[in-house]
A and B are shown apart, each in its own frame.
Chain A
Amino acid sequence: MFKKITIFLLILFFFLSQFGLAQELDGDQVLEKVEASRQANSHQMKMEMELYSSSGDMRSRELNNYRLEGEVERSLMQFTEPADISGTAFLLLDDQTNNQEDMYLYLPALGSVRKISGSQKNGNFVGSDLTYNDLSIFSGANFRDNYQAEIISEDTGIIELHLKITDPDIDYSYGKMWVRKDLWLAEKIEYYDQQEELLKVITLSNFDEIDGNRLARRIEVENVQRESRTILKLVEVDFDPELDPGIFTTRYLQRQ
């Protein structure tokens, strides 16, 4: 009898220990789960961007974003509103195998396609509180390419991560991310500047699931130092649409 109880307890202990191990994720594994919330290899998005200055003035932008993953990651952004930037388009080709990135800009005023230097990704994206890198992450790039994460705290609903910046092109000293365990999506991100002062607070909300891909339809970026805000709304999203690779070409840009 005693022998049977012992064997039973050993088996129970074995299964409990396996269950416990499965629950212990590290920070990078949490980021991996966040990335896994989006499985699509391509997308087509219509976005609205509202820019608020410290005095409360507002400007709006509307743009279409297309993305196609592969050996060369391709991204196209076209502005449709307001009138003074309508028609402006960016094309980004990122060949990660050969570590080569090419950016092209089409300006209606010039009527031509120009290759632009990688430094154009520095600073804010079209006057918003987002950098180009912020925008590419929210539209589907991988967090693990840019950050290394460590768990700071965890409760039943939220995991708090410390983000170490591994991409030298990113100008933050570090970040923090709060991840919802029910969705494996970030609900809040904080970025700190080179003086380790809080620079930006990013709040994600209006979570949705489309074709098995989870995303936030509303992203609010607050620059606490400039007291400005940008609100990015995903108006229409289509994952894995039948995208013509020909739109990710300078020829297509020139036709605009």
Chain B
Amino acid sequence: MKNISPKIKLNNLLSILVLTLILSLILSFNLSAASYSGELSTSVIYEQESERWQDQSWLELDFQQDLSSDLNYYLKSALTLESYYQQDQKEREFEFEFKEAYLNYYTAKIDWRLGRQNFSWGSSYNINPLNYFNPIDQGAIDPFQSREAVDGIRAAYYPNFNWQLTGVLTQHAEIDELQTAVQLIRRRWRGYDLAASVFSGNSLQTVPGASNFYPEVNKIGFDFKGDFSSKNIGLFSEVVYSDYQDSRLENTNELIIGLDYKFDNNLYLLGQYYYQQLPPVQSEANQLLVLRAEKPFANFHNWELNLISDLKAGMSLVRPKVIFSLNEGLDFESGAVIKLNQKRESSLNRLNQELIYLSLSKYF
């Protein structure tokens, strides 16, 4: 086997130095109001299309400390070691990153958050047109379920329980311009939570055929979540209108509507339809159907089945997953990504690859 020398990124060394400095500062403070938790995980992944084995180990640490009753900070760091094996080649990558790092400050009516953070706007499952800020993590096993945090500031104003007004200012790593948005939430209106938002900045999606071009766009979005009928069936929807500033791009609409329900036997079902017009002129709209089923079994274990169908291209993606609870805080997970009727032009094909994985995780 021919070894290629491990790539150790310069920024990883700097990150470790910064982490050491921060840890020193943290340890010099009183730790009585600090808490930490984490996850140690190791996975073996076989990528079928590239016929490549990958093993991945990571240690994720969450740390939070209260500096006063109104001020605290939170750090989520991840140390990852990945190894790739393909035919007679072997490659290793080692990376350290702060996935999230922010300061919280609370006043009587406003909660502030400054730093690297996630913004979970939108009530739909995984696909959220209303998440204007956090790009999909394309390297993740399930990109739809993984978002990358961005640096920014958030201020949430709570005049009373039923209303919330949030303002956000962020900067994405690959876009120089600031991204801004405001969201107004009305809770508990006839059993529904409603939200309206406006955004000004750049689209998170590059235009096909023009990578690194994130077009300027203004967006307006609406969202609701509640349930209906005597059975309390969940109903949710997101609608976003995008006004592109580039004259070569058409304005677009995105719509998600979905239902969910949990049965008495603990079976959980979700169904969601996604319609997405695309900005390039004369592009056909994307249409995705998402179905999800989840159920515990044998008391402590769980299975999940996700099906995403690209109704335009006729391709589907199936993600079965089983999680075994071996002991308290120790899980063994097995899953796969299977492409049915694979079509190169489908976004599902571009964002996902067929694979099988086994994973062992310890939570502490």
Contact = CB atoms under 8 A, between A and B. Distances in A.
Nearest to B300: A59
Given A117-B227, A117-B234, A111 B118 contact: yes
B299 A111 contact: no
The bracket for how many chain B residues form the interface is 35 or more
Contact of A168 (B123, B188, B230, B363): B230
The bracket for how many chain A residues form the interface is 35 or more
A110 interface: yes
A206 interface: no
Interface string B145-177: 000000000001010010010000000000000
Interface in A159-190: 168, 171
A228 B298 CA distance: 10
Contacts of B104: 255
A239 B363 CA distance: 34
Interface secondary structure of A, over-half rule: mixed
A123 B266 contact: yes
Interface secondary structure of B, over-half rule: strand
Contact of A254 (B111, B225, B234, B325): B111
A88 to B, nearest CB: 12
A54 B300 CA distance: 11
B120 A115 contact: no
A114 B187 CA distance: 11
A100 B188 contact: yes
B2 interface: no
A102 B226 CA distance: 8
A249 B187 CA distance: 11
B262 A120 contact: yes
A119 interface: yes
B329 A119 contact: no
B364 interface: yes
Contact of B233 (A84, A93, A101, A117): A117
B193 A254 contact: no
A214 B50 CA distance: 66
Contact of A228 (B161, B191, B299): B299
Given A57-B300, A112-B120, A117 B263 contact: no
Nearest to A83: B363
Contacts of A127: 296, 299-300
Given A83-B37, A122-B264, A116 B234 contact: yes
Contact of A119 (B100, B118, B123, B233): B233
Nearest to B161: A249
Nearest to A99: B191
A59 B363 CA distance: 14
Contact of B299 (A57, A100, A121, A250): A57
B37 A117 contact: no
Nearest to A111: B118
Nearest to B188: A102
A123 B123 contact: no
A100 B190 CA distance: 7
Contacts of B230: 168
A110 B125 CA distance: 12
Contact of A53 (B100, B156, B232, B300): B300
Contacts of B265: 123
Contact of A82 (B193, B264, B363): B363
B328 interface: yes
B256 to A, nearest CB: 15
Contact of A123 (B117, B118, B120, B264): B264
Contacts of A124: 266, 296
B333 interface: no
Interface string A111-138: 1101111111111100100000000000
A60 interface: yes
Interface in B236-282: 260-266
Interface of B: 37-38, 100, 104, 106, 111, 117-118, 120, 123, 156, 158, 161, 164, 187-188, 190-191, 193, 225-227, 230-235, 260-266, 296, 298-300, 325, 328-329, 331, 363-364
8 contacts: A59-B299, A86-B37, A115-B226, A118-B227, A124-B266, A168-B230, A228-B299, A254-B111
Interface of A: 51, 53-54, 57, 59-60, 82-84, 86, 93, 100-102, 110-112, 114-124, 127, 168, 171, 226, 228, 249-251, 254-255
What 3 A-B pairs have minimum CB-CB distances, sorted nearest first?
A: A118-B232, A117-B234, A112-B120
